[in-house]
Amino acid sequence: MRYFKEFILVSALFFLSVVGADAQLVFDKTSHNFGKIMSNAGEQRCEFTYTNKGNQPVAIITVISSCGCTTPSWSNEPVRPGQSGKIKVTYSNDEGPYPFEKNISVYVSYQKKPIILSLSGVVVEKNKSLKEIYPAKLGMLGVMSNRVRLGQLASGTTKSKSVNVANISSKSVKISFAAVPAGVSVKAVPSELKPNQIAEIQYTVTASQNGGYGVWGNSDIPVRVLCNGVEAKEKFLINLIVLDDFSKLSKEEKNKAPMVLAKESSADIESLKSGKPEKVSFKIRNTGYSELLIRSIQCDAPSSSVSLKAPESVAPGVYFNIDAQFKREGLPAGENVFTITFTTNSPQRPIVNLFVSVHCE
């Protein structure tokens, strides 16, 4: 009987993977922040509720945790249209005092890529003041860092995360945001805090060249924070990397895709003197079978000290150059190593790093 049930489940999952194109499993949230946890508080638990808002049954095939300290539990029963369920997660809280972020990968029957759920918080050994736990300022508020990382985001997709924020002032504060770019939403929950209260800043980015956040590559999205209507001197920065969405490409399309091959990936400028710019060039070839698009090119040197040049597109089989010119002004004396990063539409190498060693006199 046990083997018969397993056969039925496997058959059902195969069937669901075929007909599930019109299925859609929607979660009430994709992140949970525990906030401050005492190290002796024992296990911590949370739940993620999902609903099938599509027209076909869906099954959760498996749920995988990024760490043994996080244990998920779920039902393998198919979720029919309109039905809901829960993934319950237990965090063991036995790794000592530290800030943590753990991911849960949920594999469902109608798509190859998993749905990512995240857990975060900060474990402390003794009661610390909010100013100690949240040392970075946003006006009347404290955060662990005013620069948060969203990670990689495929163009045409949406991703959400959250971070804790505390009222470290002696007055109540109403939190709002301004100058939020297209494709970005930011809100505080709750939006009004009494002294020493904690809230979540929930942020969502939709990467799209049509009405969404349309900046390719690595960028910081600055958001103005208002406390009781007064703008904070510090900005809330959302860091992310926008790349092409390769998940829908067939095997044949990937085989015919462009490919980047650099003859050299590093270069040296032995002596950079004031008033005398120096240039380095990297010879690169599109060894693939379709047009290579260079989405963005960036360098971690100060923008006033480097200028970059690259073509926007390259035909198959063609060589091209990435040129970088450095100026001494704005760079520290001695040996410096800078990274030039360009993003492409190549599924195999969407991010390419080149390194330049610059000795400043």
Q: Where are the domains of the chain?
A: 1-125, 128-248, 251-360
Q: How far is CA 100 from CA 33, 70, 91, in A?
A: 10, 11, 11
Buried b (16+ CB within 10 A) or exposed e, 126-139: eeeebeebbeebbb
**pLDDT for position 359:** 96
**pLDDT for position 15:** 43
Distance CA 16, CA 84 (A): 17
**pLDDT for position 130:** 85
Q: Which CATH architecture has domain 251-360?
A: Sandwich (2.60)
Question: If you classify domain 1-125 with CATH, what class do you get?
Answer: mainly beta
Element (H, E) at 10: helix 2-19
CATH number, span 128-248: 2.60.40.10
Distance CA 297, CA 81 (A): 45
* Same CATH fold assignment for domains 1-125 and 251-360: yes
pLDDT digits 0-9 by tens, 136-146: 999 999 999 99
Question: Which contacts qualify for 124-129: CB closer than 8 Å, 24 or more apart?
Answer: 124/36, 124/37, 124/38, 124/39, 124/97, 125/38, 125/39, 125/96, 125/97, 127/38
Strands, sheet with 44-52, edge to edge from the N-terminal-most edge strand? 25-27, 44-52, 84-91, 70-73
Distance CA 266, CA 337 (A): 10
pLDDT digits 0-9 by tens, 230-244: 999 999 999 999 999
**pLDDT for position 22:** 59
Q: Which residues of the chain have pLDDT under 50?
A: 1-21
